[in-house]
């Protein structure tokens, strides 16, 4: 039991140490954390197993395997502890929506939505490290599409923020009905990223990916109008490519 506590304590210390490096790419930090946590958990599980405490060793081993991407059950346990996430999905099941200033990443397996700033003074910083007031202030320097995408993230993370915010991201009050137009024709590459598909995917794959995403992002399922519109646009873009 002492070894288990020591292993978990070490994992927590590593987690908070890595979080302090906000300027570093969050994907790199998360990947490193998962690997370290996975090896520590497996080592602890092996030690505890040799002492005959299999009721502790087996779950801990599954947890470590999940962090390293070798166990679906373990990955689900890891996600519950906050060590999984959209940016480090082990099976590559991710969809990305990018604008000039931010990038959102959806884990299609868990439905978790995360993101990071990709331009400006806070470039490289994970959106999860910002408070609501900081995000609203940051959005004032964003272009229209980046603000719309950020508002979709806020809808997921801060339920009811529109009603409570007096000075929203647009600089003049939160707006419930922002235009969902992308501000320009979506490219095929952007569409593939949004649907999480490889170039050359067939019509059936496109339709299936679209259905899976809409189950996560449709407004009736806790998603937002803007994100749903982007997913629909991605599907239409790729289907038009196949048609031509």
pLDDT tens per residue across span 17-29 = 655 555 454 545 5
Residue with tokens 């899976």: 212
Comparing C-alpha atoms, which of 12, 2, 3 is closest to residue 44?
3
Residue with tokens 């339920």: 159
Q: Quick: pLDDT tens for 97-154.
A: 899 999 999 887 777 889 999 998 899 999 999 999 899 999 899 999 899 999 889 9
Phi/psi zone of residue 160: left (φ > 0), alpha (ψ -120 to 50 degrees), beta? left
* Residue of higher predicted confidence among 84 and 60: 60
- Could you tell me what percent of the chain has a pLDDT over 70? 64
Mean pLDDT calculated for residue range 24-52: 73
Distance CA 194, CA 209 (A): 10
Distance CA 110, CA 89 (A): 9
3-state secondary structure of 62: helix
Q: What is the dihedral of CA 214, 104, 111, 188, to 10 degrees?
A: 40
Supply the pTM of this predicted model.
Answer: 0.50
């Amino acid at each position: 039991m002492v070894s288990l506590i020591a292993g978990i304590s070490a994992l927590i210390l590593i987690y908070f140490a890595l979080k302090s490096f906000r300027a570093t790419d969050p994907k790199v930090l998360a990947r490193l954390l998962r690997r370290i946590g996975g090896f520590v958990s497996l080592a602890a599980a092996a030690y505890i197993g040799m002492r005959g405490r299999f009721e502790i060793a087996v779950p801990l081993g599954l947890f470590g395997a999940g962090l390293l991407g070798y166990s679906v059950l373990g990955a689900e346990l890891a996600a519950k502890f906050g060590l999984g996430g959209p940016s480090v999905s082990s099976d590559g099941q991710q969809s990305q929506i990018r604008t000039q200033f931010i990038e959102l990443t959806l884990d299609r397996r868990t439905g978790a939505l995360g993101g990071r700033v990709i331009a400006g003074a806070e470039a490289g910083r994970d959106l999860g490290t910002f408070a609501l007031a900081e995000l609203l202030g940051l959005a004032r320097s964003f272009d229209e599409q980046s603000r719309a995408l950020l508002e979709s993230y806020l809808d997921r993370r801060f339920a009811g923020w529109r009603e409570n915010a007096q000075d929203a991201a647009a600089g003049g009050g939160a707006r419930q009905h922002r235009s969902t137009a992308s501000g320009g024709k979506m490219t095929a590459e952007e569409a593939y990223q949004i649907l999480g598909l490889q170039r050359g995917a067939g019509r059936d794959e496109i339709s299936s990916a679209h259905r899976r995403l809409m189950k996560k992002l449709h407004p009736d399922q806790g998603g937002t109008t803007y994100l749903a519109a982007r997913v629909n646009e991605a599907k239409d873009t790729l289907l038009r490519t196949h048609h031509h």
